[in-house]
Chains A and B, each alone.
Chain A
Amino acid sequence: MDLYEYQARQLLIDQKIPVPAAIYARDSHEVAKAVDEIGLPCVIKGQVKIGHRGQAGGVVFCETKDDAILASERILPMTIHGHKVNGVLVAEAKNVLHEYYVSISVDRSSRDYDVLATANGGTEVEEIAKAHPEAVKRLHISPLEDFDLEAATDMAREIGFYHADVSQAAEILLDMWKVFKESDATLVEINPLAKIGDPDDESSKRLSALDAKISLDNNAAFRHPEWESFDDSLNADPLETRASEHGLHYVHLHGQVGVIGNGAGLVMSSLDAVAGAGRPIGDETIPIKPANFLDIGGGASSAVMAESFSIVASDSQVNSILVNVYGGLTSCKTVAEGILDAIGTIDFVKPLVVRFDGNEAAEGLKILKEAHNPHISVADTMEAAAQRAVELSRAQLNSSYQPRGGTQ
């Protein structure tokens, strides 16, 4: 789970990491009030869980209160790279003298934690790493050890923090580590960690976290009841919400072929097969794409299958459904029963293609056949099933879909 900047900032504040004064506001009225408190000039920052918001016009420097209100009225309704802006942060504008980058993340390859930092902050660290790999410093922290002030101080020196900043930088690194560990984060990134202040007044200079990005480990949610406040209803997809309430892994992809399967790998593979079969050929212009990822998991009951089916069928963009099950733990017979239960309770008039293999595949297919539902067809392989689901979807788009006389 990714956090908004205003949420991430709060986790930094909780560990006493210095940040500029800022207030979260959801409408221009709240923005006006926030400006009175923060003072001018200020920065209006659209809250969105995606990078490059600055280039997209999501961050505006404002000299006057009117400017701030106008900027917020422009930013609040924006959608940046597919993400709806969820409020703005009205932040104190700081005089930036220098920008650093620091992050702590899970390193999948070395199976430990990775502190990454550079004295050339402000832009994407990947770009810096490409252009100036020597400028990016790395330190691995073993999961069995802790990060201490000595290591943090060495790191700060190595990164190239200016002499006067080293001790403050070390403290910030250590506090970031606390945020990372205590919050079960997979990423804590401060970019920029800026040196701010009056260039002519040495005593005014200090480090401040001007922007932060934090990702949390979904698997650790059971020990963080406080994460409930991070629920993002604005950007939540209603179908994804419904599926997660039932403990199902569902990702809405907005294509035309609904996909249901068992096991994350097999479902991903089914999506690829649908997308492959759905590439436009000849004079076709519209590609047919998968509508969703839905994994019913191992050993699913017929109730789980029925719920899965009705979630996918309720997506108005879906005009055909592919069910691809390799029965290991899961019984294909149980899945077939779930499909028929779901069809019995919803008004289902879309074509369904089923491919069963493994545990009780023959029994499952028999049940489907005996249902004599003209919308259900079966295929022997995943590839053939995907092809068929795509053809049926295309037929629906061309209004040429005809239910078959009976199940084959």
Chain B
Amino acid sequence: MTLFIEDGAPVIVQGMTGHEGMRHTARMLTAGTNIVGGTNPRKAGTSIDFSVEGESRQVPVFGTVSEAMEKTGAQASIVFVPPRFAKSAVMESVDAGMPLIIVITEGIPVADTAYFVASAEKKGIRIVGPNCPGLVTFPVTPRDPGMNLGIIPDGIAGRGPLGLVSKSGTLTYQLMSELNDIGFTAALGVGGDPIVGTTLLDALQAFEADDSTKACVLIGEIGGSAEQEAAEWAKSNMTKPVVAYIAGFTAPEGKQMGHAGAIVSGGKGTAQEKKKILEECGIRVGETPGQTAEIMRQILADLGE
């Protein structure tokens, strides 16, 4: 399926010249992503040499996002800029009218995220993340490349009928791996911060609208109520089955479990509460990633997939 962006569309990387940016640009190029530039005002006019399957690929560095868009027609930006500069980097893309901005950076102050998410929303721009692994899509035709935008390793799974959305990176990889014989239409990590641009609910809506997706995996964790909101919507709007996994049943009150958003506060946002509401909305919840994959297999078997 295509998710938020056409397959093969040109994309740029903000923060491409940094350590993480270089590493993942190289990886995304190898995965077939059409990366047409990076930005860094101090290195504008230069280019970076990436080796893609033994061949040299020159990726130009532009001074600004607008210049990169003008010269390349980029339709998305992937942001690897460190937390203290992330707000201005994302706002640069928002102001330039970049249609899709994927923010990988972890550790951005929530006030900065609230600001750029609200600014993007006002202009009809989609933000994925922050603190997320990005997204991968698998094309309907096996020969075409899909999109690999972010840090999700290529090759964990192939194409198939499942849509996956998750708050966690490694649990995304884990479930993709458990279900790699069945395959995916797309997998999206929405991120583990308290405020994110694209929600679990947004992803379910996209999967519901996509004909090639037959069932969805939803991976949640403690903190907030994004899982409950997605489930309430799915209950009355979703025709496709959803199987969920929730992490953090053993998390104590008031302790941040790695992700900035993964915290039970004032007794709210517990895994127990999420499981209960999801089940009330007709979503089956696995106790472990393995069991979640098993439930999905049963459901697909019942659907005759």
Contacts and interface: CB of A to CB of B under 8 A. Distances in A.
Interface of A: 2, 50, 106, 108-109, 111-113, 126, 142-144, 181, 184, 186, 217-220, 222-223, 249, 251, 253, 261-269, 271-276, 289-290, 293, 295, 298-299, 326, 328-329, 357-359, 381-383
Given A126-B266, A251-B257, A263-B171, A142 B118 contact: yes
Contacts of B115: 143-144
B225 interface: yes
Interface residues of B, number: 63
**Residue among A142, A251, A263, A289 with max Cβ neighbours from chain B (10 Å):** A263
A268 B247 contact: yes
B195 to A, nearest CB: 5
Given A108-B261, A217-B111, A251 B169 contact: no
A382 B170 contact: no
Contacts of A266: 168, 170-171, 174, 247
A264 B257 contact: yes
Given A109-B224, A220-B109, A268-B258, A357 B168 contact: no
A219 B83 contact: yes
Interface string B93-134: 000000000000001111100110111001000000000010
Interface string B128-167: 0000010000000000000000011100100000000011
Contacts of B153: 328-329, 358-359
Contacts of B290: 381-383
A328 B151 CA distance: 8
**Residue among A186, A266, A276, A290 with max Cβ neighbours from chain B (10 Å):** A266
Nearest to A83: B254
Nearest to B151: A329
Contact of B177 (A50, A219, A295, A326): A326
What DSSP secondary structure best describes chain A's contact surface?
Answer: mixed
B194 A265 contact: no
Contact of A184 (B111, B224, B251): B111
A108 B221 contact: no
B114 A290 contact: no
Given A50-B254, A264-B257, A382-B174, 5 more contacts: A2-B254, A126-B266, A264-B221, A268-B250, A275-B250
Interface of B: 23, 83-84, 107-111, 114-115, 117-119, 122, 133, 151-153, 156, 166-174, 177, 192, 194-195, 219, 221-226, 229, 245, 247-252, 254-262, 266-267, 271, 287-290
A269 B83 contact: no
A328 B288 contact: no
**Which 3 pairs between the two chains have the least Cβ-Cβ distance?**
A265-B168, A264-B258, A263-B170
26 contacts: A50-B254, A108-B194, A108-B223, A109-B224, A109-B229, A113-B114, A143-B118, A144-B115, A181-B111, A217-B110, A219-B107, A249-B256, A249-B257, A251-B255, A251-B257, A261-B170, A263-B258, A265-B170, A265-B171, A267-B257, A268-B258, A269-B171, A289-B250, A328-B152, A328-B173, A359-B153
A144 B84 contact: no
A276 B288 contact: yes
